[in-house]
Amino acid sequence: MFQSRSLRALALTGAAALALATGPVRAQEAAFDFDAMTPEQQAAFGAQVRAYLLENPQVIMEAVAVLEEREQQAQAAADDSLVQDNIDRLLDDGFSWVGGNPEGDVTVVEFIDYRCGYCRRAHPEVEQLVEMDGNIRLIVKEFPILGEASVISSRFAVATHIVEGDEAYKAVHDALIALEGNPGKGQLRRVAQTLGLDAEAILAEMDSDEVTRRISETRALAQDMQINGTPSFVFGDRMVRGYAPLQTMMQIVEDQRS
C-alpha cells in the first residue's frame, strides 16, 4: 500500500510538471491514466518520473511557483469581489473616523487593533503616506481581535469619538497605538486628562450600547470580507492583507490613480 501511494505521489508530481507546459487539464488526465494502469505499468511510470525529477529538481520548484501564482491570482480576484460587495459599508458606515483629505481621490481604509505589533509598525508609515501625498482620504476601522486589552482600547477610542469628536479621537488613537502595558481605567483616565479631554464622560460612555454597536458592525463587516488579521487595508478597490511598507503603499496608491 505504501509503495502504491508513493508511486501515485510521483505520478501526480509529474502531472504537475506537465501542467507547466500543457495546463491543468492535462495534469488531471495524467492522474486519471495513472489510476487506470496495471501495477506493473504504474511501477514503470513511477520510476521514469522519479528519474526525471532527480535529474531536473528545479521542475518541482517551478511547479510550486506556478501553483502559488495561481493561488495569489485567485485570492486577488476573490478580494476584489469582496471589496465591491461591501464598498458602501467600507466608505460610509456613518461612524468610522475619517482623516487625511476628505476630498481625496484615493480612499485608504485600515482595520486596526491597538495591541497589534504590525499595526504599531504601520502607524507612522500610514501617517507619512497621508502627509506626503496630500490627496488621500483615510478611514480607520476599529477591529479589536487580540483579547480583552484590545477591546478595552477600542471601546475607549470609540467612546472618545462619540463624546469629544474627530480631533480628540485622532489624539487618543495616536496615544493608544503607542501605549505600553494593559489599558486599565487609571491609565486611560490619565491619557484623557493629558489630552485635555473629559475623562469621566469618556469612561462612562465606554460601556454604552452605541459603542458596542459600532464595534459589532465593524466586526460583521470584517467577517463578511473574510478579514481575520490586522492590519488589513483597502486602497481604493484593492485589498491588502497584512503590513505593507511605505514604498509599497505609495506604489499601490499610484496604481489606483493610473
Comparing 238 with 71, the larger pLDDT belongs to 238
Which pLDDT tens digit goes with each residue over 121-172? Answer: 999 999 999 999 999 999 999 999 999 999 999 999 999 999 999 999 999 9
Same domain, 107 and 167: yes
Residue 94 class from Cβ within 10 Å (0-12 exposed, 13-18 middle, 19+ buried)?
exposed
Note down the domain range covering 38: 2-85
Q: Among candidates 208, 198, 138, which has minimal Cα distance to 174? A: 138
Query: Does residue 90 lie in a domain region?
Result: no
Backbone angles phi, psi at 205, to 5 degrees: -75, -20
Backbone angles phi, psi at 85, to 5 degrees: -70, -25
- Decide which of 62, 85, 108 is a domain's last residue: 85
- Decide which of 85, 118, 135 is a domain's last residue: 85
What is this structure's pTM?
0.74
- pLDDT confidence band for 10 (50 / 70 / 90): low
Q: What is the pLDDT of residue 8?
A: 55
Query: Does residue 165 lie in a domain region?
Result: yes
Comparing 209 with 67, the larger pLDDT belongs to 209
Read off the pLDDT of each residue in 45-51 and give the average, rounded to a whole number.
79
Same domain, 79 and 146: no
Which pLDDT tens digit goes with each residue over 207-229? Answer: 999 999 999 999 999 999 999 99
Q: What is the pLDDT of residue 253?
A: 97
